[in-house]
Chain A
Amino acid sequence: GQNIDQPTEMTATEGAIVQINCTYQTSGFNGLFWYQQHAGEAPTFLSYNVLDGLEEKGRFSSFLSRSKGYSYLLLKELQMKDSASYLCAVRDHGAGGYNKLIFGAGTRLAVHP
């Protein structure tokens, strides 16, 4: 089957670094995404990994290990505006050529002064 696990909640201090983990099980892995979602708003794309390793984009980095079914999102120099939910999503290559996105339940991050 398909399963994505990530912590429900995390807290961190402004200026610090936080790592949000995601583990997944899927039959036709074709990439892993991280989205940010502020309360009541639409998810917005943060990062995409399809090969093993680290992808860095400013204060945000994302890591993937396909053999371990594991990814993490690293947020550096935390700011108050980073308080949001972070969604891990796996793209699954299904029948008919459609690449389906399967989302985890999300990790709610609270950044404190």
Chain B
Amino acid sequence: EAQVTQNPRYLITVTGKKLTVTCSQNMNHEYMSWYRQDPGLGLRQIYYSMNVEVTDKGDVPEGYKVSRKEKRNFPLILESPSPNQTSLYFCASSREGEETQYFGPGTRLLVL
């Protein structure tokens, strides 16, 4: 089954404790993105990747890192999480030239 998976789905952590949210897709898509979704603000792009070893900042990259060592994986790293990073995070992937982005199920993060 074609899908985008994220882990963990839910996470409660404390300020400053490094964490990684994994994202994996099995559709051989070139493009992958991370978004955060906050009430009243919609989905905002954090980082994106056009292919292996090619990543760039989105609209709200501060406090986040990403890597794209393999085509299928695009982990999101929070080196020192802060409470303002409490949010719902979505990973998405798409094929170059195609219209549709496929979203993962989301990761709900609470930083205390």
Contacts and interface: CB of A to CB of B under 8 A. Distances in A.
A101 B106 contact: no
Q: Which 6 A-B pairs have the closest CB atoms?
A: A42-B103, A105-B42, A103-B43, A103-B42, A48-B99, A45-B100
Contacts of B48: 98, 100
Interface string B75-87: 0000000000000
Nearest to B108: A40
Contacts, number: 49
Interface residues of B, number: 22
A42 B90 contact: yes
B110 interface: no
Interface in A58-110: 87, 89, 96-98, 100-106
A13 interface: no
Contact of B99 (A4, A31, A40, A41): A31
Nearest to B91: A42
A93 to B, nearest CB: 13
Interface residues of A, number: 23
B19 to A, nearest CB: 21
A98 B104 contact: no
A102 B58 CA distance: 10
A19 interface: no
